[in-house]
């Protein structure tokens, strides 16, 4: 039996007492936890010490590197075109990946979008796409490379279990120990997977506001700067956009209804905010891939992006023309007075959609693709008493009372305001580069 070079208790104490953990000890801690030598209890204690004491930039780099080294590294060096990926920190109604990946691919750039499933109030990209009959998330590496190098150019699929297994194990532990919202732990979790994935460039959509993971702007900015530095230090061209998630994105929250809205954007229409953010992120991705002057809006308007979407969906077994699921039951909430919508908070609407069945409380729970919320007004819109404000959809009407309970106090109408008052500020607040 080999002798371990460090003791977990010493590593925990070093961080608990506010010190920096030496690189060899930190690398050992991650490796020993992945191997099962360091227990869940010890790693939970270490994660809490990081949560309370933080980490220096160099420590975060070593932690990220150690998590990458726990598994395989992919490489797209053999592709005939540049690669660029996007990661969003998640929010309510955030369906941007769906129109974005085929839009960028329509310019001859490969988009390997390894995505996840939703948990709690934030929806998962794979859950949304699985509303399309026949579409499959699980692809082999060979299938993924063929799709990227061929005329499709974009892949949205599940990440393989071989990428950063230390992160998968640690993330599950953080979820049940109250250590999720720590910048060193979030940054190393996201970036270990993205760097291991092997993309040449990466754009981060870091959200702030009531419907975001990081509600505080300053913390969201610190997270963006940390992740951009990690990517840059690893040789991945990385930039970030800080985007507003105080109000849900678009007019749909759910799965099938978000796919419908994404297709509207790909057809040159859709809500203004979804189109705006899709274009902004596409321009950023294409600039990093060496195409700074690409006419992104033109590709949405002339059908090129839609062609890419149809190829991408069909390549993964989906029928782009198939009818999407529609819920059996609906409940419409109407305006009690005339005026201007003055408030529509992201988080409560995300929770309400989750309670309708659009999300899951546990990783093993199923998702109801037809469930969700359609919004008929956003802040700044004039409304008339009696008009529909939003429609709740579920397979079982018994879900409506708890969903409505989540929405109490989450929206308001200002009866005195002039039209246009209370309109939200700019969607993209800041750009962070290396």
Annotated catalytic residues are: 87, 167, 174, 189, 193
Q: How far apart are CA 286 and CA 288, in angstroms?
A: 5
For 182, residues 6+ apart whose C-beta sits below 8 A from its C-beta are 47, 50, 51, 54, 174
Burial of 116 (0-12, 13-18, 19+ CB in 10 A): middle
Asked if residue 411 lies in contact with residue 344, where contact means CB atoms within 8 angstroms, the answer is: yes
Give the relative orientation of helices 256-266 and 304-315 as an angle to the nearest 10 degrees: 140
Q: How far apart are CA 240 and CA 221, in angstroms?
A: 9
Q: How far apart are CA 320 and CA 318, in angstroms?
A: 6
**Tokens describing residue 350:** 């995300």
For 1, residues 6+ apart whose C-beta sits below 8 A from its C-beta are none
Q: In angstroms, how far is CA 372 from the centroid of its own chain?
A: 18
Q: How far apart are CA 99 and CA 89, in angstroms?
A: 17
C-alpha angle 175/94/207, rounded to 5°? 65
C-alpha angle 53/55/59, rounded to 5°? 150
Report the candidate in 172, 187, 281, 185 with the shortest Cα–Cα distance to residue 234: 187
C-alpha angle 158/162/164, rounded to 5°? 95
Q: How far apart are CA 124 and CA 322, in angstroms?
A: 21
């Amino acid at each position: 039996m080999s002798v371990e070079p460090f003791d977990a208790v010493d590593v925990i104490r070093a961080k608990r007492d506010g010190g920096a953990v030496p690189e060899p000890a930190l690398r050992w801690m991650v490796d020993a936890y992945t191997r099962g030598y360091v227990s869940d209890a010890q790693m939970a204690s270490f994660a809490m010490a990081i949560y309370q004491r933080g980490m220096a930039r160099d420590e975060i780099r070593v932690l990220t590197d150690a998590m990458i080294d726990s598994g395989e590294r992919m490489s797209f060096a053999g592709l005939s075109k540049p690669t660029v990926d996007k990661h969003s920190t998640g929010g309510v109604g955030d369906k941007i990946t769906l129109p974005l990946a085929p839009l960028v691919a329509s310019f001859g750039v490969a988009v390997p979008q390894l995505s996840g499933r939703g948990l709690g109030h934030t929806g998962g990209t794979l859950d949304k796409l699985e509303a399309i009959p026949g579409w499959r998330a699980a692809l082999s590496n060979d299938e993924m490379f063929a799709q990227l190098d061929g005329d499709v150019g974009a892949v949205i699929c599940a990440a393989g279990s071989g990428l950063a297994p230390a992160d998968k194990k640690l993330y599950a532990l953080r979820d049940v120990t109250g250590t999720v919202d720590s910048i060193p732990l979030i940054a190393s979790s996201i970036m270990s997977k993205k760097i291991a994935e092997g993309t040449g460039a990466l754009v981060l959509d870091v959200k702030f506001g009531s419907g975001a993971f990081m509600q505080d702007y300053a913390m969201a900015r610190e997270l963006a700067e940390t992740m951009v530095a990690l990517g840059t230090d690893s040789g991945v061209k990385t930039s970030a956009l800080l985007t507003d998630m105080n109000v849900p994105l678009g007019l749909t929250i759910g799965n099938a209804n978000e796919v419908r809205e994404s297709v509207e954007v790909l057809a040159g229409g859709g809500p203004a905010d979804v189109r705006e953010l899709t274009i902004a992120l596409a321009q950023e991705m294409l600039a990093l891939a060496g195409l700074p002057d690409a006419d992104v809006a033109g590709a949405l308007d002339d059908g090129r992006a839609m062609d890419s979407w149809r190829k991408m969906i069909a390549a993964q077994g989906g029928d782009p023309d198939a009818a999407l699921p529609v819920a059996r039951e609906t409940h419409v909430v109407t305006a009690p007075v005339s005026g201007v919508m003055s408030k529509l908070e992201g988080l409560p609407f995300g929770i309400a959609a989750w309670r309708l069945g659009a999300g899951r409380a546990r990783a093993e729970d199923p998702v109801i693709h037809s469930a969700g919320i359609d919004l008929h007004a956003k802040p700044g819109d004039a409304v008339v008493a009696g008009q529909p404000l939003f429609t709740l959809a579920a397979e079982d009407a018994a879900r409506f009372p708890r969903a409505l309970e989540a929405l109490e106090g989450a929206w308001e109408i200002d009866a005195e305001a002039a039209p246009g008052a209370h309109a939200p500020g700019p969607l993209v607040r800041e750009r962070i580069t290396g």
